[in-house]
Amino acid sequence: MEEEQKEHVAKELINSTKEWIVGDPQAGPVKVTFLSGFSAVFNGLGIGLLLGILLGLSVSPVVSGVIATISSLLAVLIGLNEKFLDSLKSLRIGSFGLFSVVGILLGLYLRANDPFAPSLLDKMEEYRSIGYSDEDARAMITGFIKADSGKVVRQASVLYSGTIEAQDCDYLSGANSGTETSEIIEAFKAPGGFWADFAEEVDRSIPEADKGQVLLTIRDILCVAPPADFTKFKSSFVSLVAGKTEAGAIEQALLGDQSNFGILVNQLQQKFNEQQRFTIYQLLAKLFKS
C-alpha cells in the first residue's frame, strides 16, 4: 500500500513538473490577441537584450560557456513537439533569441567604440581650459594609451631585432635627471636584454658623474625617435665606427651615411665633450656588435 502511494505521488510530481514546463497537453490552443502577443514579444525582448548586452560587454572567457548553454536551451525549447508549443511561447522564444543577438552586437559596439566616453579632443580641451599647457595635456592624454595595445605598440616598438621592446621603453620612462645614478642603473638593468647590458657597460666604462646622463640620453634617442630598421642601424653603426680613433672622425662618417644617425650625433654633441662622445661611440659599437 505504501509503495503504491509513493508511486502515485511520484507520477503526480512528474506530471505537474511537465505541465509547468510545457503546459497542459489537454488544453486547447491559446488565443493570441494583440496584447498577449505584445506581452510575449516584450518579455523575450527585455530578457534577450539584457542578456545580450551583458555578454557583449564582457571579455571574460566564461562568456563562451554561457552562450553555449543558452544555445542548447533554445534548441531544446524550439525542438519541442508543436502541440506543446503554442503561439505565445513561439513569440516569446523567437523574440528572446533575436534580441539576444541584437544585444550582443550592441554590447560589442559599446565595448569597442566607448561612445559615452569623451573623445581625445574633448579631453585635450578640458585640460587646456583648467590651465594646463598643450604639452602637458598631450602627455596626460597619451598616458592612457597602453604600450601593449595592438597597433600603437607596433608603431612605437624598436623590436626590429628582438633586442629592444616598447614595453621596456615605457618602464624606463620613469627615470629622469632627478633620479639617483644608482637607481637609474638598477632601472635599466631590470628589463634585461640590451638595456641591462648597456647599463653594465656604462657602469664599468663611464665616470660616475656622467653615468645617469649617458643612460638617459641613449634611452631618449632609441625610444623617442627609434630607427626604422634597428638591425640595419646597428650593423651600419659598427662598420662606420670601426677603425676610428677620434670622435670627430666617427661623427663625420655617421653624418655622411644614409642611415639616420643625425639625431644620435646631435644629442651627444649637445651634452658631452669630445672624449666623452668617443667613449660612448665605442661602447655602443661594442654592444651592437655582440
Query: Which of the residue ranges 109-113, 228-232, 234-238, 278-282 would you say has the lowest mean pLDDT?
Result: 228-232
Residue 152 pLDDT: 39
- What is the reported pLDDT for 148? 45
Q: Residue 279 contacts by C-beta under 8 Å, 6 or more apart in sequence? A: 205, 206
Q: Cα–Cα distance between 280 and 247 in angstroms, integer?
A: 9
Q: What is the pLDDT of residue 122?
A: 83
Residue bearing the bigger pLDDT, 267 or 36: 267
Structure confidence at residue 2 (pLDDT): 63
pLDDT at 105: 84
Give the span between the Cα atoms of 26 and 239, in whole angstroms. Answer: 93
The set of cell numbers assigned to 137 is: 595635456
Cell of 221: 634617442
Kindly report whether the global pTM for this prediction surpasses the value 0.85: no
Residue whose entry in the numeric block shows the C-alpha cell 565595448 = 111
Contact criterion met (CB below 8 Å) for 44 and 95? yes
Reported as a single tens digit per residue, the pLDDT across 2-47 is 667 767 766 776 766 655 455 555 555 556 676 777 777 777 777 7
The pLDDT of residue 179 is 86
% pLDDT > 90, the chain: 3
Element at 196 (helix H, strand E):
helix 193-205
Report, as an integer, the average pLDDT of 95-118.
79
Task: Give 146-171 pLDDT, tens digit per residue.
Answer: 444 443 333 333 333 344 566 778 77
Q: Which residues contact 202 (CB under 8 A, 6 or more apart)?
A: 185, 211, 214, 215, 283
pLDDT given for residue 101 in this prediction: 80
* pLDDT for position 156: 36
pLDDT tens, position by position, 78-97? 555 455 556 767 777 778 77
Tell me the pLDDT tens digit for each residue of 178-229: 888 999 998 888 888 888 888 999 998 888 888 999 999 888 888 876 666 7
Q: What is the mean pLDDT of residues 58-84?
A: 60
